[in-house]
Structure 1
Amino acid sequence: MTAVPQSATRRRHRRRHHGTHLFLTTMAVMWLVPLLWTLYTALRPKEATDRYGYWSLRGPLNLDNFAAAWEQSGMARYFVNSAIIVVPAVLLTLVLASMMAFAVSRFTWRFNLTLLVMFTAGNMLPPQVLAAPLFEMFKRTPLPYSISASGSLLETYYAVIAVEVAFQTGFCTFVLSNYMKALPGELTEAALVDGAGVWRQYARIILPLCRPALAAVGTLEVIWLYNDFFWPLLFIHNGDRLPVTTAVNNLQGQFLQDYNLIAAGATLTVIPVLVVYLLLQRHFVAGLTLGASKG
């Protein structure tokens, strides 16, 4: 039997992946071109755009649009509002989802699979279907006027946080339960023999091993909740309490649109999620690639 040279095998392997590399390169360019052009538009003065056109590469570049967007939109206040919503919502989602995932993945009980399917199926329901019922329910839920100016759950961060947690817990439970199922069952069995209760197994054994998965899911949740525009706009009508996704809307004029200024404001809103991704990048990539070499 004739042996195939290793060099020929490598060449065949490279040719096999040419199509994949071409597809990935094309998709990367399609994603990057709009982002880079938005950044370029934000750096151009409006006078240069009016003179040379939007598709021209002529004209000076500066940071004046960023300073103007920051001041005119009141973006500092909106960043704080987004943090008030996103931080507790993400933490609550991860805590509740990890508890639920631990229960359905590490223990066998009667409604184990049924409950997991219900949590997952909840994500299939369009949010717009529940908009009117949730609005009426929160409107009729009384709160002291010292907490809410409306005397109900409306106009409060609690309403937005509650809905975000409810909608995102199902997805996180599904992802974390699949990861926990891949952990060896001997870990919890040995802990049980040593006298560790359920809470100790969850907090001291399983949860530390789920750090990559929690980082990956947490990064996605920060991005999704930070970019959410629908629920805050539905439940909060006070402009001082709206998140940063609405700050760009303040840059739109009634009779004239300064698209360079709007591009600068949109670029500024990306910075927090970009920082979060860069900080958790190593854990995020590890969480996405777990189990890729198994099977």
Structure 2
Amino acid sequence: MFPTPIERTPRIVRVVYHLAVPLVLLLWLLPMIAILVTSLRGNQDIIAGNYWGWPREFRMVQNYAEVFNPARSPMVRYFVNSLVITIPSVCMAIFFSAMAGYTLAIHRFRGRILLYALFIAGNFVPFQILMIPVRTIFGNLGLLDTLRALIIFHTSFQIGFATFFLRNFIADLPISLVESARMEGASEMGVFFRVILPLIRPALASLGVLLFTFVWNDFFWALTLVQSDAARPVTFGLQALRGQWSIAWNLISAGSVVAALPSVLVFFVLQRQFIAGLTFGGVKE
């Protein structure tokens, strides 16, 4: 069996493994710990260069209150904008991708494999080369600097990966379930909503967590399609926390923690479904 379970490896390998795991985990968490601790520091710590030492002054309440201070930055508006962009984009991308995945997995028609290959190929296109065409298209449609532009773009951009993701889960379902529903008189939409969607609920939850993280953390396309505060998401709005003459790293760190919280909360709320979705179809009877 490969890989060999750690319990069956030589003793020296187990010792190295148990020593390396905490070290690697600490190195991976170190930047996040640094940001979290910096968000608690006072400005004097930053000026004095105390970036890694224990904070001499804790200003957690003041820093996080300053992040949402309207006189300093419209952070509340940015936060609301991110919710308005992310929630519809994720919901529509999952819905359309589930329908496309159902069609590609269940129905047999000419060109099905080619169409599926196009969905896969789209995931390998470097998104940076799309910047000028996307901006030109949205400019011609009069959608630049609007929330609708980011919603439409993220919905269409995520459909390729989401369809590839869901098609594989649906293909693992017993085709007899679909045939039985059809024999009972169910329409194709009835089969999709009453049979397929309930069965792939773990996959939908895991995909929702991934897409929420992708869309919420986007900076590149917000920079490309948005120019004013009216449509800026929270990731792009963090630069508003910079000071006029110096960079307030404690405030930027506090804003970064606030911006990361929704993705973390979504993961913990859907953690069980997320894990079930990742292992769905992994064991064959």
TM more than 0.5: yes
Structure 1 residue 20 displacement after superposition: 5.7
CA distance in 2, matches of 1:104, 1:243: 34
2:65 pairs with 64, 67, 72, which one?
67
Structure 1 residue 19 displacement after superposition: 6.0
Structure 1 residue 38 displacement after superposition: 0.9
Pair 1:82-2:82 in alignment: yes
CA distance in 1, matches of 2:185, 2:248: 66
Structure index of larger Rg: 1
Instruction: Provide closer, same or farther for how the CA distance between residues 58 and 205 of structure 1 changes in structure 2, counting only shifts above 3 A.
Output: closer
Structure 1 residue 24 displacement after superposition: 4.5
Report if aligned partners of 2:7, 2:14 keep a CA contact under 8 Å in 1.
no
Pair 1:54-2:44 in alignment: no
Counterparts of residues 265-284 of structure 1 (less than 5 Å): 265-284=255-274
Match of 1:133 in 2: 133
Report if aligned partners of 1:219, 1:277 keep a CA contact under 8 Å in 2.
yes
| TM-score, length-scaled by structure 1 | 0.87
Query: How many residues align structurally?
Result: 277
1:222-271: CA deviation from partner (whole Å, max 9, x where unpaired): 01100111112212211222000122100112321121111111111111
Instruction: Provide closer, same or farther for how the CA distance between residues 235 and 50 of structure 1 changes in structure 2, counting only shifts above 3 A.
Output: closer
SS at match of 1:283: helix
Counterparts of residues 1-295 of structure 1 (less than 5 Å): 12=8, 15=11, 24-51=21-48, 53-63=50-60, 64-71=62-69, 72-141=72-141, 152-294=142-284
CA distance in 2, matches of 1:239, 1:211: 37
Structure 1 residue 294 displacement after superposition: 3.8
| TM-score, length-scaled by structure 2 | 0.90
Instruction: Provide closer, same or farther for how the CA distance between residues 41 and 201 of structure 1 changes in structure 2, counting only shifts above 3 A.
Output: same
CA distance in 1, matches of 2:192, 2:19: 44
Report if aligned partners of 2:78, 2:234 keep a CA contact under 8 Å in 1.
yes
- Structure 1, unmatched stretches of 5+, are 1-8, 142-151
After TM superposition, the runs of 4+ consecutive aligned structure 1 residues lying more than 4 A away are 13-24
Calculate percent identity across the aligned residue pairs.
Answer: 36
Report if aligned partners of 1:123, 1:168 keep a CA contact under 8 Å in 2.
no
SS at match of 1:73: coil
RMSD (Å), alpha carbons:
2.2
